[in-house]
Chains A and B, each alone.
Chain A
Amino acid sequence: MIVFILRRLTQSAVVIAAMAVLVFTGIFAIGNPIDVLISPEADEVERAAAIARLGLDQPMHVQFARFVESAVGGDLGTSFVHGVPALGLVLQRFPATLELALAAMLLAVLLGIPLGLWAGLKPDSVAGRVIMTGSILGFSLPTFWVGMMLIMAFAVQLGWLPAGGRGQTASLFGVQWSFLTRDGLAHLILPAINLATFKLSLVIRLARAGTREVALQDYVKFARAKGLSPARVVGVHILKNIMIPVVTVLGLELGSVIAFSVVTESVFAWPGMGKLLIESILQLDRPVVVAYLLLTVLLFVVINLVVDLIYSMLDPRIRLGGGRA
């Protein structure tokens, strides 16, 4: 077990180091930030001063060494555009993204499990077929286009919900949240639906497959034969068992929802860190892009590590197989 944990930790460290190099080299080649950041009217002296201040005149390996040194200390540079520490800028946007991602996950589970149960219990019914066709559509529809259609329908044509932004926020634990105010909640609905669409399809499929498998097993038949009400058989006996794969997959998908919120945030002008990333890429704001990517990679590595460790505790086969795979 200790060997396994050590091996997994080493692997995670290697991934983070590799990503740091890749991200840094990549961002270095993104373009010439000097042209963007310094006014064309600036004279030579002003230019040189600005370049020196941003450290852009140093050779690449010196910039990288500097970057690693300060990154370990939590300093990922200062945003060229905003003039504040990049890591702080990204972290400041994180609650908005987290709120959106959790709202989307919640929607996906609350709608997906009942729908998947229904489709699994009655696979040949009209409703079952409609649900499955819907889930295929959910997989096929590009997220950004769905988002635009939602805005068009509910914000522009019907005028029920706001088209973008976070709305009014309220403070909890020193962080601003949208879901605490009526206005903020109204702003949250469309982006959350948009981000949930893909995961909803996934949950429906998982729940349906699980239900079809579990519903045929002996203990379900026995529960029925015992005279339990159908509601109890479905709600307790079946539901409990289909939750295992659903919960597992959702744990892994949280990271992917945060990554995909880049798209939804851009469509709905949701001021999260995904929108910040796209703005920073377009403005060649190198430190912010680096901070976002490293933070996200770190998040992913931690999520994967935690899932793997929990698994290996629950199921020794994973641990034994880990050496080979």
Chain B
Amino acid sequence: MSAAREETPLRRLARDFARSRVAVIGLAVLVLVMLAAVFAQVVAPQDPYDLAQLDIMDSLQPPGTAGGAGWTYWLGTDDQGRDLWSAIFFGLRTSLEVGILATLIALAVGVAVGMLAAYAGGAVDGAIMRLVDIQLSFPAILIALILLALLGKGVDKVIVALAAVQWAYYARTVRGSALVERRKEYVEAARCLALPHHRIMLRHLLPNCLPPLIVVATVQVAHAIALEATLSFLGVGVPVTEPSLGMLIASGYGFMLSGNYWVALFPGVALLVVIVAINLVGDRLRDVLNPRLSH
């Protein structure tokens, strides 16, 4: 077989992944949503946080109302006269930013700690894993609430709190696979070559622990986004100046009882679409990567 046609692991992964149509749709939706969030400034018809573009006469208009500026509010407006469709794009940006950053930080911390536990073994391993067990016995929302009561409001603080909630999952995952890997011969060989410990951990063990980590990380992004939305709804999350989807939904709470359903409904649908799309991709990744985990 020629080198060009040789099947790389990545290509095989892509092919296996594409066998599930639902997962591909999920991935497509996810890519679209991320593009929409990144280019919110360009694709949103209105900058909802530029006061000059808002018309207070257009406040709380139901979906489909023609706006003063000559285009239609397809999803209606909120009490400030903001176009909800545009506000959702901007909200997605905050939600995704918080979710992804928190996951990356938690991943880095969790991998470092979990790898250390597996590699060092003994008392270090025992202490770290005891800590992980204790943390995981408390629900995420309780830990996040304690931390936010401690840290106060702010995007950066929410990210820290979410990362602190999540690191334990990665630590446990990476320790599990690193324990299996470190008994294998290639690690023994690397040790015989007297390679430095950090090199064995990062270059030899880590790549072989990646598949389960990818699966856990995908699902955890969805959890982080949902948790951030919940915390923001409760008023302990992101500040009003950087509204996430959770914040948009929270602002709709007050109008719900007067029948202005759209302010809370549509941001929630957007949140749901993001979470379901991530979960579909994560589920498929788990199925595809699983056979490689079993050996």
Partner of B229, one of A139, A142, A281, A296: A142
Inter-chain contact B235/A23, CB cutoff 8 Å: no
Inter-chain contact B235/A152, CB cutoff 8 Å: no
From A34-42, A100-108, A165-173, A256-264, give the one contacting chain B: A256-264
Residues in A with CB closer than 8 Å to B256 are 148, 151-152, 156
CB A263 to nearest CB in B, in angstroms, measures 6
Partner of B142, one of A144, A157, A259, A304: A259
Q: Closest 6 interchain pairs by CB?
A: A26-B150, A145-B268, A256-B139, A259-B139, A259-B142, A140-B275
Partner of B259, one of A11, A156, A293: A156
Complex Cα–Cα for A263 and B275 (A): 19
Residues in A with CB closer than 8 Å to B229 are 142, 144-145
Instruction: Please report which residues of chain A, range 8-22, place their CB below 8 angstroms from some CB of chain B when the two chains form the complex.
Output: 11, 15, 22
CB B81 to nearest CB in A, in angstroms, measures 22
Closest to B148 in A: A281
Closest to A12 in B: B134
Complex Cα–Cα for A151 and B268 (A): 14
CB-CB under 8 A for A145 and B129, given A140-B279, A260-B141 = no
Inter-chain contact A31/B152, CB cutoff 8 Å: yes
Partner of B226, one of A142, A262, A289: A142
Q: Mark B220-241, 1 if CB is under 8 A from A, else 0.
A: 0010001001100111100000
Complex Cα–Cα for A289 and B152 (A): 14
Inter-chain contact B152/A149, CB cutoff 8 Å: no
For chain A, give the interface size range: 35 or more
Residues in B with CB closer than 8 Å to A142 are 226, 229-230, 246, 268, 271-272, 275
Instruction: Please report which residues of chain A, range 115-149, place their CB below 8 angstroms from some CB of chain B when the two chains form the complex.
Output: 136-137, 139-145, 148-149
Main secondary structure of the interface of A (DSSP, over half): helix
Tell yes or no: B52 within 8 A of A by CB.
no
CB-CB under 8 A for A140 and B236, given A145-B272, A260-B139 = no
Inter-chain contact B141/A281, CB cutoff 8 Å: no
Q: Mark B125-167, 1 if CB is under 8 A from A, else 0.
A: 0100110011001110110011111111000000000000000
Complex Cα–Cα for A153 and B65 (A): 23
Main secondary structure of the interface of B (DSSP, over half): helix
Inter-chain contact A145/B249, CB cutoff 8 Å: yes
27 CB-based A-B contacts, threshold 8 Å: A22-B150, A23-B146, A27-B149, A29-B151, A30-B149, A136-B279, A140-B226, A141-B275, A142-B230, A142-B272, A144-B229, A144-B249, A145-B268, A145-B272, A148-B249, A148-B252, A149-B265, A155-B257, A156-B259, A157-B259, A163-B257, A262-B145, A277-B145, A278-B235, A278-B236, A282-B235, A297-B138
Tell yes or no: B264 within 8 A of A by CB.
yes
B interface residue numbers (CB < 8 A to A): 126, 129-130, 133-134, 137-139, 141-142, 145-152, 222, 226, 229-230, 233-236, 246, 249, 252-253, 256-257, 259, 261, 264-265, 268, 271-272, 275-276, 279
Inter-chain contact B272/A141, CB cutoff 8 Å: yes
Inter-chain contact A300/B150, CB cutoff 8 Å: no
Partner of B230, one of A23, A263, A277, A304: A263
Complex Cα–Cα for A243 and B205 (A): 40
CB-CB under 8 A for A266 and B139, given A27-B149, A156-B256 = no
CB A319 to nearest CB in B, in angstroms, measures 16
Residues in A with CB closer than 8 Å to B272 are 140-142, 145
Complex Cα–Cα for A151 and B134 (A): 36
Inter-chain contact B139/A140, CB cutoff 8 Å: no
